[in-house]
Amino acid sequence: DTGVSQNPRHKITKRGQNVTFRCDPISEHNRLYWYRQTLGQGPEFLTYFQNEAQLEKSRLLSDRFSAERPKGSFSTLEIQRTEQGDSAMYLCASSHSVGSYEQYFGPGTRLTVT
Amino acid sequence: AQSVTQPDIHITVSEGASLELRCNYSYGATPYLFWYVQSPGQGLQLLLKYFSGDTLVQGIKGFEAEFKRSQSSFNLRKPSVHWSDAAEYFCAVATNRDDKIIFGKGTRLHILP
């Protein structure tokens, strides 16, 4: 078990460009969560999946954001037409919907929009 | 909607001293409560959680927390801190054990040698 992995770890992009992040959860985990953390704040919930179904989306997830988990395994988070306000750490977590329920977090992808 | 307040942005304690980090939550029903730690360059790690039962919960790294419903609090304690405890600590709440987690803004812990 290698834990939750996220790629890339860092991304610098220019305003207006599209970016995509990938999250690979712990293999037997059927729930996958995306959070965003800005400097000096706690993580804020964005969306989550159970298997391939997206069950909830935060109001923070504007129409420029889209997340997918096509086969119920890895997930991608895409941001279109990035803005400077999108600069943040994007965290992925996974859990199993039975058992300990603990959410295991990945190391995050730090996005800087210039 | 549920929310979490961590009133202390920074806390400084001497190595070997006791620690208490404060957390208050807002939620009408029985909450699911968590404490996470985040070290520089590291991911969030769960220290402990309260779902039900005994209101004093033990976690990893010698931490414990006490759920007090009457005060809507879930304070984190450690009897003797080590320099390696320097990190950011987040209190969090969920409405269900496998639901999204609502985090506080965090308390940064500094340790004096």
User: What's the mean per-residue pLDDT of chain B?
Assistant: 93
Name beta bridge partners: B58: B64
* Chain A residues in contact with B41 (beta carbon < 8 A): 107
- The CA distance from A82 to the nearest CA of chain B, in Å, is 24
CA atoms within 13 A of residue A25's CA, in its CB half-sphere = 28
Q: What is the DSSP string of B6-55?
A: ---SEEEEETTS-EEE--EEE-SS--EEEEEEE-TT--EEEEEEE-SS-S
CA–CA dist A114, A43 (Å, integer): 22
Each residue's pLDDT tens digit, A37-54 = 999 899 999 999 999 999
Give A104: exposed, middle or buried? Use CB within 10 Å, 0-12, 13-18, 19+: buried
DSSP annotation of A86 reads G
pLDDT for the residue numbered A102: 84
Which member of A40, A44, A107 has the closest CB to residue B43? A107
Q: Look at A101 and B101 and tell me if their CB atoms are within 8 Å.
A: no
In which residue ranges of chain A is pLDDT below 70? 1, 99-100
* Chain A residues in contact with B49 (beta carbon < 8 A): 102
Reported residue count of chain A is: 114
Each residue's pLDDT tens digit, B29-56 = 888 999 999 998 788 999 999 988 889 9
